[in-house]
Amino acid sequence: MIRNFLFAIVGTMVLITACRTESNETLPILGRRTVSLEGDTLYHTIGSYAFVNQDSLEVTPETFDDKIYVADFFFTSCPTICPTMKTQMLRVYKKFQDNPQVAILSHSIDPTHDTVAVLKDYSQRLGIDNSAMWHFVTGSKEEIFRVGQSDYMVTAGEDEAAPGGFIHSGAFLLVDGERHIRGIYDGTKPEEVDKLMVDMATLLHESKTD
């Protein structure tokens, strides 16, 4: 149900990603788009935010200047898809952990429970020793929900009927250095994460040729 909701929001733009082959040299830019009075196409971008990561450091869009990153939404006590998502994200982390142009941004949607200390313990139990690459962030609940729903266009919110009391997308979102969403992948499926990592390499090559 969560994944269906995600794909319904982004509509046909997601199909572009699903149909992309490895032979393509560039990735599509996903999300809403408008046309300026001058006739230029204006693409959807991730807006401003300020969160705190597991090392008590502020994380803003400027944290990812000159980088590509993968974003997701989770909570540490999640009893459903989060453990699978983190197992798959660990694959991404291990493949790119030595590349300074790559980062991961995991937003907790349960900031009341997921304090900085909890997120630090969680990251250590995952074996993350490069916290400059993988940021587990907390902050205002309303702000995290807003960023998820408006900027990343995924499900993120409270739901008393959902296991753990929260509902969120299982998506991994690939974001470029211009804050554009360049791909959306099911973070619970290894084959989708395989595609993500191929697309990350494509995007890294694209950024070098710009």
H or E segment to which residue 55 belongs: none
Name the one residue in this structure whose structure tokens are 């499900």.
155
Query: 127: which residues sit within 8 A by CB, 6+ positions away?
Result: 90
pLDDT of residue 68: 97
pLDDT of residue 209: 62
Give the amino acid at 194.
Answer: D
Spell out, as residue ranges, where the chain has pLDDT lower than 70: 1-25, 36-37, 157-168, 209-210
Give Cα separations from 195 to 92, 181, 184, 192 (angstroms).
11, 15, 10, 5
H or E segment to which residue 74 belongs: strand 68-74
The total of other beta-carbon atoms located within 10 Å of residue 33's CB is 11
pLDDT of residue 157: 58
DSSP annotation of 160: T
Which structural domains are found in the chain, ordered by start? 2-209 (3.40.30.10)
pLDDT of residue 189: 96
Nearest to 144 by CA among 23, 55, 51: 51
pLDDT of residue 149: 87
User: Rg for the chain (alpha carbons), in Å?
Assistant: 16
Nearest to 209 by CA among 78, 26, 45, 11: 26
